[in-house]
Amino acid sequence: MTLSEFNSIVADTTRPTIIDVWAPWCGPCKAMKPHFDSLAGEFGERARVLAVNADESPEVTQALNVFSLPTVVVYRGGTEVARRKGAQSPSDLRTLFEAAVEGREVPQLSNRSRILRIGGALAAAMLAGQIEPTWPLQILSVVLFASAVHDRCPIVQALARPFSRGTSTNGGG
């Protein structure tokens, strides 16, 4: 895909454009691809969905300022309205797609909130060594840290998968 083709696609004002920037050598990209493709099929009439291979379209990747893979970018009327870096869970991708087609703001954790949560996790971890019993502060430290990195850390996402599966519907009874 050339940059001019890309620019004409995202300029579409009739429906949002959801872009998955990926590469064939990227493990998290491969893990996310089936979920992204499934949602693309489900939301395809209400959103334009693109998969941009970073290796084959470096000009587009550079124009998008993508420095980590995978990255999902949402455009509405030619303007970027959301960006998610790193592998996304199926439920996070669904939330992104739903918000994009409904015209809602895509929820994201601000850098300030992320830093405050990491600082709180460090403070709780340091206090855990000073106060008995230590386990409540250790648990608080882990929860605060996980809440700060859950959207970017593949380890946290992998640990969360067993819990998120219980909320999805499946064919089995």
Q: Is the pLDDT of residue 171 over 70?
A: no
Selecting among 10, 29, 40, 54, the annotated active-site residue is: 29
65: left (phi over 0), alpha (psi -120 to 50) or beta: left
Cα–Cα dist 126/10, whole Å: 48
pLDDT (tens digit, 9 = 90+) per residue, 23-36? 999 988 998 999 99
Among 4-18, 23-37, 144-158, which is the least confidently predicted range?
144-158
- Distance (Å) of CA 20 to CA 53, 55, 65, 67, 131: 8, 13, 13, 13, 47
Q: Is the pLDDT of residue 132 over 80?
A: yes
**Given this model, what pLDDT does residue 28 score?**
87
Let me know if 26 is a catalytic residue: yes
Average pLDDT over residues 77-92: 84
Average pLDDT over residues 3-18: 85
Q: Is the pLDDT of residue 168 over 60?
A: no
Average pLDDT over residues 80-95: 85
Cα–Cα dist 12/60, whole Å: 17
Write phi, then psi, for 45 (nearest 5 degrees): -85, -20
Selecting among 19, 26, 52, 149, the annotated active-site residue is: 26
- Please, are residues 20 and 51 in contact by the beta-carbon 8 Å criterion? yes
Average pLDDT over residues 103-129: 80
Coil vs helix vs strand at 162: helix
Among 16-30, 56-70, 159-173, which is the least confidently predicted range?
159-173
pLDDT (tens digit, 9 = 90+) per residue, 45-55? 899 999 999 99
3-state helix, strand, coil in the chain (%, to 5): 50, 15, 35
Q: What percentage of the chain exceeds 70 in pLDDT?
A: 83
Report long-range pairs for 21-24 (Cβ below 8 Å, ≥24 apart): 21/52, 21/54, 21/61, 21/64, 21/66, 21/69, 21/70, 21/71, 21/72, 21/73, 22/51, 22/52, 22/53, 22/54, 22/69, 22/70, 23/53, 23/54, 23/55, 23/69, 24/53, 24/55
- What predicted TM-score, i.e. pTM, was given to this entire model? 0.64
Q: Is the pLDDT of residue 76 over 80?
A: yes
